[in-house]
Structure 1
């Protein structure tokens, strides 16, 4: 049953299957199991008001009218109580920037901040546990490239997310 229209919407960048599986494995290994309700993801917007669903869906479809592109995995970030992989892509910045401009009146303070794309593989752990994982992942880190395949739209349900739509890139 679909979530109520008032529940916020989450917008993500969808990655190729191999990248998704790699990040999902890391998340399954290192994210506290009782808090791991989601697959690994690249959040572009955390809380777009749910009442704008039709406009958001249309804007995502328009934004996806572009060729798919590569995204560089550039490093490992220490988050204090977790660890994430940093991503960089001019195309991600352009897609997100265009959507942010269109949705500016609706955006929360968090979604108005400078965007630093990443995939969180650990969160909500003790700082010492996070630091140990960060050091371990950093020691073996070699940059690589993943492929962005589209945009995902989800309804936030207080922990889990409900899939709403996908907008694949050309």
Structure 2
């Protein structure tokens, strides 16, 4: 039996988190919605490397909190997400990816596209309708990145391992 992999996410300011959580609560299938809204930086890191992951996250979060633009609503085929963009986010993710390159899965080795999924695993027509509704709505305000969290994936729900705030050392 393999140990549960680690998931690494970006933390957002409380107001942005509340907005995304509300959208996810309203539009994600309830039977599949085990998590708060999140920005996944890495999907599956080896748990036996947890000490190194935590050390590297602590180093990477020495930077100051930074703005994150909510750039567009994206249709996922069977769901909807909000795309996010920030040069600082790309730099943070690239720094961690370089440190963990030997352990990255194919999914985590691909080009990074920051997003928050607010609907997934629904009928494509339902997803198209939500995409049209959200795309026609006023854009969401930008967010602020406030930290990085490490989680243990438990086959649906996640268990919190650590959260490291952006400190601006």
The residue that corresponds to 1:135 in the other structure is 132
> What runs of 5+ residues in structure 2 fail to find an aligned partner?
none
CA distance in 1, matches of 2:70, 2:96: 23
Q: CA deviation at 1:106?
A: 0.2
Which residue does the alignment assign to 2:156?
159
1:18 lines up with 2:15 in the alignment: yes
What CA RMSD, in Å, does the superposition of the two structures yield over aligned residues?
1.1
Number of the residue aligned with 1:112:
109
What do the CA deviations read for 1:83-138 (whole angstroms, capped 9, x no partner)?
00000000110000000001000000000000000000000000000000000000
Deviations 1:19-42 (A, max 9, x none): 000000000000000000000000
Task: Say how many residue pairs are matched.
Answer: 167
TM-score by structure 1 length? 0.96
Runs of 4+ aligned residues of structure 1 deviating over 6 Å after TM superposition are none
The 1-side partners of 2:22 and 2:141 are apart by 17
Shift of 1:142: 2.0
Aligned to 1:61: 58
Query: Out of 1, 4, 7, which is 1:7 matched to?
Result: 4
Q: CA deviation at 1:46?
A: 0.2
Contact 1:74 1:144 in 2 (8 A): no
**CA distance in structure 1 between the partners assigned to 2:140 and 2:125 by the alignment:** 25
Determine whether 1:149 maps to 2:132.
Answer: no
Question: 1:98 maps to what in 2?
Answer: 95
1:75 alignment counterpart: 72
Hey, what's the Cα distance between the residues in 2 that align with 1:143 and 1:15? 14
TM, length-normalised to structure 2: 0.97
Q: C-alpha displacement at 1:55, in angstroms?
A: 0.2
